Structure 1
Amino acid sequence: MTNSVIVNKSFNFALDIIRTYHFIRCKKREFILSKQLLRAGTSIRANVREDFGGEFRKDFGHKMNIALKEANETEYWIELLIASSYLEDEVANEMLNKCKELCKILNSIVRKVRETQEVQDA
């Protein structure tokens, strides 16, 4: 797989999500919100990985857009876990910042793919 910023950051973020999920389930005994966080947070990387095997540029844009939606959803779950005191401030803020960074990167990729497709379609 190609060595890119989004590939590396989304993989490392998925690992952080898994660790956080286990912490919330084991230490805080919370099962619903943590499962949502796990699903959305690891899905970002899954869509990025699936896309790098894509055959067409439109597939790339579509998968990156799905990854962006999952990143936005993950940001929501982190914010909810912070507000409900399931995540401690230092850990939570670090995760939230990483998630926002992924959102920015993915948003940039999606925007660039759309612009490229518009030029090609013209």
Structure 2
Amino acid sequence: MRSDHLIQQKRYNFALNIIKLAQKLKGVTHFEISSQVLRSGTSIGTNVEEAIGGQSRKDFYAKLSIAYKEARESHYWLRLIKDSGLYNGDEINNRIEECEEILKIITAILNKIKQNGF
């Protein structure tokens, strides 16, 4: 599967899983943390969509770079939730792994664009 199709699938599934996790977090943690992870986790997919609809390679690169930053932020929040003990178990570990996969895919796409030039 091409990496651009793979990122579309993974970012959508990740967003769905983040929505479910945020719902669970509302009951056990402060609302701010669940809303932050919800915002950054769903923003990845939004920015990938905007990149796909970009008007130029430069626009595509810029939007995908934002998706990368949002994935980094999501990774931070997920690790913070886990390491603080707010939420434990396989689900949080799976979300962290998903996020790391998304980061790797986006990094590979961005690097390929850099190599080929804008």
1:19-59: CA deviation from partner (whole Å, max 9, x where unpaired): 0001100x314201111101110000000011111110111
**Given that residues 29 and 86 in structure 2 are in contact (C-alpha distance below 8 angstroms), is that contact kept between their aligned partners in structure 1?**
no
Which letter does structure 2 place at the counterpart of 1:102? I
Larger radius of gyration between Structure 1 and Structure 2: 1
Counterpart mapping for 1:1-122 below 5 A: 4-25=5-26, 27-117=27-117
Output the CA distance in 1 between the equivalents of 2:30 and 2:16.
19
Give me the identity figure in percent. Answer: 38
Instruction: Name the CA distance, whole Å, in 2 between partners of 1:13 and 1:98.
Output: 7
- Once the 2 structures are TM-superposed, how far is the Cα of residue 67 of structure 1 from its aligned partner? 0.5
- How far is the alpha carbon of 1:72 from its aligned partner? 0.7
- Rounded to whole Å, the distance in 2 between the matches of 1:108 and 1:15 is 23
In the TM superposition, structure 1's runs of 4+ consecutive aligned residues that sit over 6 Å from their partners are: none
User: Where does structure 1 lack aligned partners over 5 or more consecutive residues?
Assistant: none
For structure 2, the residue ranges without an aligned partner over 5 or more in a row are: none
In 1, the alpha carbon distance for the partners of 2:51 and 2:61 equals 8
Rounded to whole Å, the distance in 1 between the matches of 2:113 and 2:70 is: 18
